[in-house]
Amino acid sequence: MKIGILGTGDVGCVLGAGFAGRGHKVMIGTRNPAAQKVQDWLEQTGNDARTGTFAGAAAFGEAVVIAIGWPHLQNVIELAGAGNFAGKLVMDATNPLRFETEGQPPVLDVGHTDSAGELVQRLLPEARVVKAFNIVGNPHMVDPDFPEGKPDMFICGNDANAKKTTGELIESLGWPPVIDLGGIENSRYLEPLAMVWIRHFFNQGFNGNHAFKLLRK
């Protein structure tokens, strides 16, 4: 599959390399494809990876991952062009975080009655948006491995086929079968769950070696 990645932060680079390592063709989109960080990623990732603009990556991908910081989300989608997402699976890995005090945990900028996932779906009405990857730190997004076993990934979205494909892609990265919470409005609960991860990260001295597991009986 051809996968476009919007964003060259840690999340975008980790997922891009992970998908390329599974044999997918990946294009990572950025404002400056010639930046040294982007070129370093390209060299490390190999022949199945390429770089381009946000619009180029969105047009390239049969599926697209949005891995953009919250303050830049709407601008990047505008730069990418809504038409380039039409009919496609869009995996939204964003969290609507607002940083108020240096050195302190962020807070949610929206919640309870709205979410970043729902905003992405509104901005891209012809896309099939699935919330995914937002509840775990980027070092464990590919081949997560903990002494207690593999963690779980929760997803949500309005399109059943899009969620099926998302689940298959996530499993290919070394995760167990995903847990589907239902429609995209359930991003209202997954994004606060990310805050649980973030708060624990700060409480543990910026140690991100934790993840969520749903226990069954």
pLDDT digits (tens, 9 = 90+) for 23-59: 999 999 999 999 999 999 999 998 789 999 999 999 9
Summarize pLDDT for 149-178 with one digit per residue, the tens. 999 999 999 999 999 999 999 999 999 999
Per CATH, the number for 2-203 is 3.40.50.720
Q: At what angle do helices 187-203 and 116-123 cross, to 10 degrees?
A: 130
Mean pLDDT of 131-144: 98
142 near 173, Cβ under 8 Å?
A: yes
Q: Which two tokens stand for residue 102?
A: 């240096």
What is the value of pTM for the model shown?
A: 0.96
- Taking the C-alpha atoms of residue 90 and residue 44, their distance in angstroms, rounded to an integer, is 25
pLDDT at 68: 97
pLDDT at 41: 95
Summarize pLDDT for 82-133 with one digit per residue, the tens. 999 999 999 999 999 999 998 899 999 998 899 999 999 999 999 999 999 9
Summarize pLDDT for 59-94 with one digit per residue, the tens. 999 999 999 999 999 999 999 999 999 999 999 999
The number of beta carbons lying within 10 Å of the beta carbon of residue 210 is: 15
The position carrying tokens 């709205």 is 114
pLDDT at 63: 98
Summarize pLDDT for 171-215 with one digit per residue, the tens. 999 999 999 999 999 999 999 999 999 999 999 999 999 999 999
b/e map 80-100, b = 16+ CB within 10 Å = beeebbeebbbbbbbbbbeee
- Taking the C-alpha atoms of residue 107 and residue 174, their distance in angstroms, rounded to an integer, is 30
Q: Which two tokens stand for residue 75?
A: 């601008």
